[in-house]
């Protein structure tokens, strides 16, 4: 991976508190649904696997995210730390969204992250499964954007 002069604290090696902070910062970024802003958390040559798509570099990441959020409407995401060590973090997450026909889904997934010394993510591997849900079964109720601090996380929601 290419060395970078950009930094994105907290920096590795991660401890429990800094890993939790890194996960929440990632969740907050993704809940903006701003592909350009989100891409800045990744190295310029970051490599991704997202479902069946592979992306390398920020430009491809931006395009992938724009495609994603153009079909996953009213997207709301919760991430939770699963494990960490050194410069790696594993998370589990769920997000709710609907398509342009009004069909709601809860998508569940796991991600493995690897960071460079400056705290930029250099590798991201995501596995995601979509579950159709009724709108009445939604659990993620907050205005679009950052999840409020008092909104339950995945564990508290029984997910």
What's the burial of 12, exposed, middle or buried (CB within 10 Å: 0-12/13-18/19+)? buried
What is the distance between the alpha carbons of residues 97 and 82, in angstroms, rounded to a whole number?
Answer: 23
pTM across the whole model: 0.95
Question: What is the pLDDT confidence band of residue 32, given thresholds at 50, 70 and 90?
Answer: very high
Q: How far apart are CA 111 and CA 89, in angstroms?
A: 8
Q: What is the pLDDT of residue 3?
A: 53
Per-chain mean pLDDT for the chain: 96
Q: Give the residue extent of every domain in the chain.
A: 16-137
Position 5 confidence tier, pLDDT thresholds 50, 70, 90: confident
Q: For 15-24, what is the mean pLDDT?
A: 98
* Span 39-91, pLDDT tens digits: 999 999 999 999 999 999 999 999 999 999 999 999 999 999 999 999 999 99
Two tokens, residue 12: 């590795």
How would DSSP label each residue in 103-127? -EEEEEEEEEEEE-TTS-EEEEEEE
Residue 29 DSSP SS3: helix
Percentage of residues of the chain with pLDDT beyond 70: 97
CATH class of the 16-137 domain in this structure: alpha beta
Residue 4 confidence (pLDDT) above 80: no
pLDDT at 34: 98
CA dihedral 108, 114, 115, 121 (to 10 degrees): -50
């Amino acid at each position: 991976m290419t060395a970078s002069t950009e930094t994105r604290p907290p920096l590795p090696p991660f401890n429990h508190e800094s890993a939790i902070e890194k996960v929440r910062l990632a969740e907050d970024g993704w809940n903006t649904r701003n592909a350009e802003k989100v891409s800045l958390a990744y190295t310029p040559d970051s490599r991704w696997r997202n479902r069946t798509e592979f992306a390398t570099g920020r430009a491809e990441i931006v395009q992938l995210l724009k495609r994603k959020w153009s079909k996953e409407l009213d997207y709301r995401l919760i991430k939770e730390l699963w494990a960490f060590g050194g410069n790696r973090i594993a998370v589990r997450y769920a997000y709710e969204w609907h398509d342009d026909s009004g069909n709601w889904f809860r998508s569940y997934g796991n991600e493995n992250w690897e960071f460079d010394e400056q705290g930029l993510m250099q590798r991201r591997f995501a596995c995601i499964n979509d579950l159709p849900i009724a709108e009445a079964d939604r659990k993620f109720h907050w205005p679009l954007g950052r999840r409020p601090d008092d909104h339950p996380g995945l564990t508290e929601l029984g997910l």
